[in-house]
Structures are given as structure tokens and as C-alpha cells.
Amino acid sequence: MTVYATRERNGSKVRVIRAVDDLVCVRCRLESGDGDTADFHADGIQAMLDHLDFHTVLGDHVPPEAFVRLRAEYADLSERGAL
Ligand SMILES: [Zn+2]
């Protein structure tokens, strides 16, 4: 499992992980409203970047490292022609 952002680190408001090939924003408030019970499953890295942009716009702190890491992976994949 890869952890991109976690609430215990860097004051992040979101927890973003990858389990196998599933890219997830765990207990996402955008997905579940106030209940924080539903996960957001991104359909690819670009979709997760858009999703995290949304969090940022709404005032949620998303650590810059999470963006950097996802973008690096995205660049990697497209270099290898996997996208
Ligand atoms: Zn989210």
C-alpha cells in the first residue's frame, strides 16, 4: 500500500492511499457530506489530482507532497507509455 497523505502527517485534511491499483481518498467528506463515511475511488491519477484540487478549493489542507508524488507517478507512467 502506498500512502500519499495521511491525517497524522503534515496537518493533512485528507487520507489518500493506493491499495493494489485502487487509488482512494479515504472517508472523504466530498463523497459523503458530513458523515465522512464514504471513500472516493479515483479512476486514475489525473482524476485523483482533480479531486484533491477540489479539496484545496474548499479549504482542506492537502500536503504539497501528495500532489508532487502523484504527478511524478503520472509522468512516470506516461513516459513508459502506460497511459
Ligand atoms: Zn476526498
| Domain segments of the chain as ranges | 2-79
What order do you get walking across the sheet with 22-25 strand by strand?
2-5, 16-19, 22-25, 40-42
- Please tell me the distance between residue 31's alpha carbon and the centre of ligand 1 in angstroms: 7
What's the gap in Å between 11 CA and the centre of ligand 1? 15
Q: What is the pLDDT of residues 41-76, one digit of tens each?
A: 999 999 999 999 999 999 999 999 999 999 999 999
Q: How far apart are CA 64 and CA 58, in angstroms?
A: 16
CA of 13 to the centre of ligand 1 (A): 9
* Model confidence, pTM: 0.85
For residue 78, the CA-to-ligand 1 centroid distance in Å is 24
